Amino acid sequence: MAMKRVATSAAGALASPPGSFGSSSALIRHLHASPGSKKIVGVFYKANEYASMNPNFVGCVEGALGIRDWLTSQGHQYIVTDDKEGPDSELEKHIPDLHVLISTPFHPAYVTAERIKKAKNLQLLLTAGIGSDHIDLNAAAAAGLTVAEVTGSNVVSVAEDELMRILILVRNFLPGYHQAVTGDWNVAGIAYRAYDLEGKTVGTVGAGRIGRLLLQRLKPFNCNLLYHDRLKMDPELENQTGAKFEEDLDAMLPKCDIIVVNMPLTDKTRGMFNKERIAKMKKGVLIVNNARGAIMDTQAVADACSSGHIGGYSGDVWYPQPAPKDHPWRYMPNHAMTPHISGTTIDAQLRYAAGVKDMLERYFKGEEFPPQHYIVKEGKLASQYQ
C-alpha cells in the first residue's frame, strides 16, 4: 500500500484513505514542506520587449500570471522561468524542493517520470491552460500527485482559431498575402484552388468542449458537419449544430473535405494519423490541428503535403515545442503553421491566470478544486486521458 503526496495543505482535505490507489509503483514519501510556506515554480514563455506592451499580458515569465505579489505576501516562494530543458536548467535546479509546478502547453515543461522521482516535495502540477500531456500522467498518478488544468479557460480561443485556419486553407489566403507583400498581382494563382467553405464537408475528430464550440461556430456556414467521438452528443446539441455522428473514424475520413483534430494526446491518439490513415482521406484534404502535434506522424504529414494528397495543413501544435528550426512542417508546401498560440490570447491568459490563482487558493486552504479541472487525482487519470 502506498502513501501518496496529496495536493493539499496540511489540512489534508484532498487526502484519500490509504488503499484508494490502483498503482503499486507509487513511491512512499513524506511531505517535507512546512504547512504555511510552499515553493511554487512557474514555467512560462519569456516575453522580453513584448512584456511591457500590454498590461494584460500575464501569461509570460514577466507577467508571472499576475500572482507574484499575492503569493509572496502570504510567505510563499514563487520562482518563474522559461529555462526548462536539461540538467543545468533553472527548472531542474528547483525540482528537488518545489511543492507546486505551474506550466503551460505553449512552452511545455516536460515533467518526466525521472523528474517526478527527483521532486520529493512535489504535490501539485497545475497547467495554466488546457492539455497536460507534457506531464507523464501515469508517473504522476503512481506518485500520488495531483494534476489539474484550468478546464474551459481557452476552449473558445482555440475553437475560434480553428475556424480561422479552416478559412485560411479553404480560401487559399496565404498565396494572396505573399503576392501583396512581394509586389505581385496574380489572381489566378490564388483562385484556381480557392473555395467557399459553404457546402463543404467538415469532420471533427473529437467533439469535446472545443469541438462542440467549433461546430456551433460552423453552423451558419451551411457545411455538411460530421463528428467522431467515443460517445454521441446529446440530441439537443446535435440538433443545434446539425452535426452527424460517425462512430467509425475510418469511415468518416474519406467523406471530409476538411478534417479538424480535437482530441487530447494520449497513448491511444499518439501518432494515430499515420501514413495509412492519411491515405484514407480525400485527395486534397485540408487538415487543421490545434490539439497536439504528436497526434500526427510528423513525416507522414510532410510527405502527404509534398505529394498533394493533403491540400493544406494548419495548426499551432508541434512536437517537440519549441519546434526546432529544421522541423519539416516549417518547410512543407501549403502549410499555415504558427507557434503554439491559439490558447494563449490575452483573453485566455486572463482566464487561466484567474483559474490558477483560484486553485492555489483552494490548495492553501485544503479545499477541493472544481471537479472538471482534475487530470490526475488520487492516483487516477481523468477519463479523456485513459
Only one of the segments 120-128, 132-140, 157-165, 265-273 lies at the binding site for a second copy (rule: CB under 8 A); that segment is 157-165
**3 binds a second copy per the rule CB under 8 A:** no
- Minimum CB–partner distance for residue 1 and a second copy (Å): 43
The CA-CA-CA angle for residues 357, 376, 232, to 5°, reads: 105
**51 binds a second copy per the rule CB under 8 A:** yes
Known catalytic membership, residue 134: no
Instruction: CB nearer to a second copy: give 123 or 344.
Output: 344
Q: Pattern 251-290, binding to a second copy, x per CB under 8 A?
A: ----------------------------------------
63 Rama sector, left if φ>0, alpha if ψ -120 to 50, beta otherwise: alpha
In this structure, the chain runs to a length of: 386
Closest to 169 in 3D by CA, of 361, 333, 343: 333
Amino acid letter, 200: K
- Residues 79-118 within binding reach of a second copy (CB under 8 A): 106-107
- Minimum CB–partner distance for residue 52 and a second copy (Å): 9
What are the strands, taking DSSP E only, across the chain? 39-43, 77-81, 100-103, 124-127, 146-149, 201-205, 224-228, 244-245, 258-261, 285-289, 310-315, 374-377, 380-381
Residue 102, φ and ψ in degrees, nearest 5: -105, 125
**328 binds a second copy per the rule CB under 8 A:** no
- Residues 10-49 within binding reach of a second copy (CB under 8 A): 45-48
- Residues 168-197 within binding reach of a second copy (CB under 8 A): 168, 171-174, 176-177, 179-181, 183-197
Instruction: CB nearer to a second copy: give 98 or 243.
Output: 243
Find cell 497536460 and name the residue: 132
**150 binds a second copy per the rule CB under 8 A:** no
Closest to 203 in 3D by CA, of 175, 182, 228: 228
Interatomic CA distance for residues 65 and 57, integer angstroms: 8
Only one of the segments 139-147, 166-174, 262-270, 274-282 lies at the binding site for a second copy (rule: CB under 8 A); that segment is 166-174
Interatomic CA distance for residues 310 and 248, integer angstroms: 21
- Minimum CB–partner distance for residue 264 and a second copy (Å): 20
Q: Among 19, 87, 234, 325, which residue interacts with a second copy (rule: CB under 8 A)?
A: 325
Could you list the active site residues? 154, 292, 321, 340
